[in-house]
Amino acid sequence: MIMEAKNSCEACPVYHKENLTRLGVDLENADYVITLAGNPNTGKSTVFNNLTGLRQHTGNWPGKTVTRAEGAYSYNEKRYKVVDLPGTYSLLSTSVDEEVARDFILFGRPNVTVIVADATRLERNLNLTLQILEITDRAVLCVNLMDEARRNHIEINIRALSRELGIPVIAASARSKQGMQELLSAIEEVASGKYTCKPRRIKSQPANLKHAISVIAEKINGVFPDLPNVNWVALRLLEGDQSIIDAIRSGDLGSLKQDLPSTVSEEERDLKAGLASQERVTSQERVTSQGRVTSREGTASQQGQNTLKEREEVLSVANAERWDLGLNFHDTVIETIYSEASAVAQKTVSLSGNKPPYSLDLKIDKIVTGKWTGFPIMFLLLAGVFWITISGANYPSGLLFSLLVDKLHPLLNEWAQAAHFPWWLSGVLIDGAYLSMAWVISVMLPPMAIFFPLFTLLEDFGYLPRVAFNMDSLFRKAGAHGKQALTMSMGFGCNAAGVVAARVIDSPRERLIAIITNNFSLCNGRWPTQILIATIFIGAAVPAAMAGVVSAAAVVGVALLGIFLSLVVSWGLSKTVLKGEASTFSLELPPYRPPRIWQTLYTSLIDRTLFVLWRAMVFAVPAGIVIWLVANVTISGVSLAEYFIDWSNPFALIFGLNGIILLAYIIAVPANEIVIPTILMLTVLMTGITGVGAGAGVMIDNASIGQTGDILRAGGWTTLTAVNLMLFSLLHNPCSTTIFTIYKETRSVKWTMVSTFLPLALGFTICFLTTHIWFLIHPLS
C-alpha cells in the first residue's frame, strides 16, 4: 500500500495540485514548483530568465489582468516549474498584484519561494521578505545586484543575514549570471528537504496586538488544527482580508495544515501517505455487530453544519478583536515590520569608503526630475526618439515597399494570369488582401522596430520611472494615476501595447481611465499620416527655409494636444462616471543601469514588435479585401465607394472633411497605416486621374510627396482639410487591434464602446469648431 502511495505522490495534499491548478499553474512534467517574489526593480525578471532560458511563456492569472510568467528548468535530474509573481512592495494591502502574490504563496504552497532582493536597498526589501516568511518556511533569499552594491561601497554579510532570517541567502549579480549555480543548489536543498528552514518570525508587536492575535489563533487552531502559519492568518483576519475570510468560510484554509515537505523526510512522508491511505479505506465502511455495512456519511451533514458554525465563530471573534484594537492598528503592524527589517539590516549591512552611495544618481535626478528642467528634458528625449524613429524608418520602409509592392506585386499578378485566375479573384487576393498586408508591413514594421527598442532602452536605463515622477502631479490633479504617464508613453508606439501596459495601475478605476484615454497618444500607425500631411500642406504655407521646422512643429503640436486632451478627459471621467480620489502609490526610482543591448533587441523585436505586427496584419488582410470590393463592385455602373462618398460629402463638409476621408477611416479601422493609400486610391477613383498607380480601385501610394500633393489637391483638398485630417487622425476611434485589446483587458462591452466612440465624438466636435473658426477668420476661403 505504501508503494501505491509513492506512485500517486501528486495526489498527496502536500503537493496542493488542486490549488495550484486553480491558480493557473500546469503541473505536468514538474517535480517541484518554485515561485519568484520580490519588489519591483530588483532584477527578478533577470533571475527568472537565467533560470528558465527560452522555456517560458506568459499569460494572465485566472480572473485577473495581472501578467503571469511561467518557465521550467531541470537540475540534477529533477524538473522545476517556475512561476514569476508580480513585483510588489508588500503583502498587507489589497492591490491586485499583492493579492495575486500573497494568494499564490499561501494557497498554492509552492515547494520553494525565492525572494529576490536589491542589495543596494536591502533594508526596504526586507519588509517584503519578513512578510513572506510569516506565510511560508520554505524560502531562499537571493540578494541580487551585488555588483552595484560594491560599486556604491555597500557591504553585506551574507552569512549573518542567513542566520538572522533562518533561510539560505545567496549573493548574486543576475545580469552577469553570478551566483546562479549557488541559487540552483539552494533551491534544490530546500525543495528536497535537505535544508530545514527556521524562518524569523515577527515578535516585537505591542501587547494588545499580541493578545488579539493569540485569541484569534487559538480559535483558528480549534477549527483548523496544526495550521503552519496561524499567527499570520490571525493578523490578516484582524486586517479584514477578504480572501482569508472566504478561505475560512469555505474551509479551504484546512488544506494548509498538512506537514511541510521541507520538514518531513521522504521516508516519513511515504509512511504517512500509506497510513492515510489505509485510514481512508477503513473509514469508508464499518461492519456492525449484525454483520451489515454502515456508511459514515450519515453524520457528515451534521458535522459539516457544526464546522460551518465554528468557522463563523472564528470570524466573529476576529471582528470583536478588531473593534477593540481601533482603526490605527494597521500602522502599528507596518511600523513593527519596518523596525524588524531595520534591526536585521543594521546587523548585516555596512558602508565603506568616504563617498556616499548613489551620489552620481542623485546628481542626475536633480536635473531630470527638476522643477524647471524635468519637462524640457522629457520633451526633448521624446522628440529625439520620434525623430530617430521617423528618420531611421524611411530607408528600410522604402526597401520593403520596393520589394513587396514594386517587385512582388506585379510578379503575383503575372502568376495569377498564368494560372488563369478570374479577374475578380486576383483582384480580391492580390490587389486587395496582399497589397493591404504589404502596406502594413512596409509602413508599420520599420518604425516599430526602431521605436520599441529605443523605448525599452530608456526603460532599462531607468529613465521611464522618472517620466512617471514628473507627470504624477498633473495626472493626480486630473484625478488619474501617476503611472498613466507610462501607459501614455507606451501608446506612442502602439495603443494596443499602451492598453496592456495599464496593468501596472493597481486601482481598477484609474486603470480604466488610462485605457479609455490611451487612444489620444499618436501611435506609430498615425505618425506617417501626420508627417506626410504636415509636409505637403503646412510646410508649403511658409517660406521653403522654414518648411521643415514648421512641419515638425505642427506634428509635435498635435502630439501635445493629445497629451492635453488625455488630461482633460481623465479629469472629466474622474468627476463624472468614474468618480473617486486619485490613489497614492509607491514609485521607486531605480538606479541608473547600463542598458542590455542584445536582450533589449530580443525583447522589443520578438515580444512587442512582431506580436503587434502580427495582430495588425490579421486585421489588415480583410480590410484590403473590403477596399477592393467597395471600389470595384458597381451598381448601374457606379461603385459602392462612389455611392457612399456622394452620400456622405454634405455631412463631412460640415466638419471640414470630405466623404473620401470618412470612407477611408471606416475601411481602415483594422489598421491606421492604410489610411493614406486608401484616400489616394479613392481620390483617383472619384477624379478619374489617369497614369497613377495600378489603376482605379487598387491601393496606391507615390514615392514623390509632390505627386501625392497634386492628387490630393485635385480632390479638392485645402489647408483647412489638411488641418482637420491631422486633428481627426489624432481623435478618431481606435483601430480594431486596440478595440479588441480593450475588450480583453476590461471584459466589458460597455467600456469598450466608450473607449471606441468617445474619441470619435471628440474628433468631430473639434473639427467642427476648427472649421467654423477658420471660416470666421478666412470668410472667402
Q: What is the DSSP letter of 294?
A: E
Give the whole-angstrom CA distance, residue 190 versus residue 35.
13
Percent of the chain with pLDDT over 90: 20
Residue 349: CA count within 13 A, CB half-sphere? 23
Give the whole-angstrom CA distance, residue 656 versus residue 637.
29
Q: What is the DSSP string of 171-200?
A: E-BGGGTBTHHHHHHHHHHHHHTSS-----
Q: What is the per-residue pLDDT for 258?
A: 44
At 261, the pLDDT band (50, 70, 90 cuts) reads very low
Mean pLDDT along residues 2-26: 49
Q: Is the model's pLDDT at 761 over the cut of 80?
A: yes
Q: Is the model's pLDDT at 704 over the cut of 70?
A: no
Q: What is the per-residue pLDDT for 6?
A: 38
Q: What is the per-residue pLDDT for 39?
A: 87
Q: What is the per-residue pLDDT for 587?
A: 62
List 154's β-bridge partners, or say none. Answer: 351
At 755, the pLDDT band (50, 70, 90 cuts) reads very high
Q: What is the per-residue pLDDT for 724?
A: 95
Residue 164: CA count within 13 A, CB half-sphere? 20
For the record, the C-alpha cell of 337 comes out as 515590520
Q: What is the per-residue pLDDT for 301?
A: 42
At 296, the pLDDT band (50, 70, 90 cuts) reads very low
- Specify whether the CB–CB gap between 662 and 652 falls below 8 A: yes
Q: Is the model's pLDDT at 112 over the cut of 70?
A: yes
Q: Is the model's pLDDT at 4 over the cut of 80?
A: no
Q: What is the per-residue pLDDT for 58?
A: 55
Sheet of 112-118: strands edge to edge?
A: 56-60, 67-75, 78-84, 32-38, 112-118, 139-144, 169-171
Q: What is the DSSP string of 342-387?
A: HHHHHHHEEE-SSSPTTHHHHHHHHHHT-TTTHHHHHHHHHHHHHH
Q: What is the per-residue pLDDT for 282?
A: 40
Q: What is the per-residue pLDDT for 687?
A: 79
Q: What is the per-residue pLDDT for 769?
A: 95
Mean pLDDT along residues 201-227: 80
Residues 6+ away with beta carbon under 8 Å from 266: 193
For cell 470630405, name the residue: 658
At 725, the pLDDT band (50, 70, 90 cuts) reads very high
Q: What is the per-residue pLDDT for 264?
A: 38
Residues in the chain: 781
| CA dihedral angle for residue 40, residue 44, residue 45, residue 51, rounded to 10 degrees | -170
For cell 514615392, name the residue: 703
Q: Is the model's pLDDT at 743 over the cut of 70?
A: yes
Q: Which segment of 114-123, 541-550, 769-778 scores lowest on mean pLDDT?
A: 541-550
Percent of the chain with pLDDT over 70: 78
348-371 pLDDT per residue, tens = 998 876 666 666 777 888 888 888
524-539 pLDDT per residue, tens = 778 778 888 888 888 8
Q: Is the model's pLDDT at 729 over the cut of 80?
A: yes
Distance set, CA 565 to CA 479, 690, 730, 744, 752 (Å): 14, 42, 10, 25, 19
Mean pLDDT along residues 582-587: 60
What counts of helices (H) and strands (E) characterise the chain?
34, 13
Closest of 163, 119, 166 to residue 145, by C-alpha = 119
Q: Is the model's pLDDT at 413 over the cut of 70?
A: yes
Q: Is the model's pLDDT at 327 over the cut of 70?
A: no
Q: What is the mean pLDDT of the chain?
A: 78
444-476 pLDDT per residue, tens = 677 777 777 887 787 777 787 787 788 777 888
Give the whole-angstrom CA distance, residue 347 versus residue 160.
8
List 72's β-bridge partners, or say none. Answer: 81
Direct distance between the N- and C-terminal alpha carbons of the chain, in angstroms, rounded to an integer = 95
Mean pLDDT along residues 202-206: 74
Cα 390 from chain centroid?
A: 26
Q: What is the DSSP letter of 84?
A: E
Please give the residue that has the higher pLDDT: either 23 or 320.
320
Q: What is the DSSP letter of 507?
A: -
Give the whole-angstrom CA distance, residue 14 versus residue 18.
11
Q: Is the model's pLDDT at 29 over the cut of 90?
A: no
Three-state SS string across 405-416, please?
A: HHHHHHHHHHHH
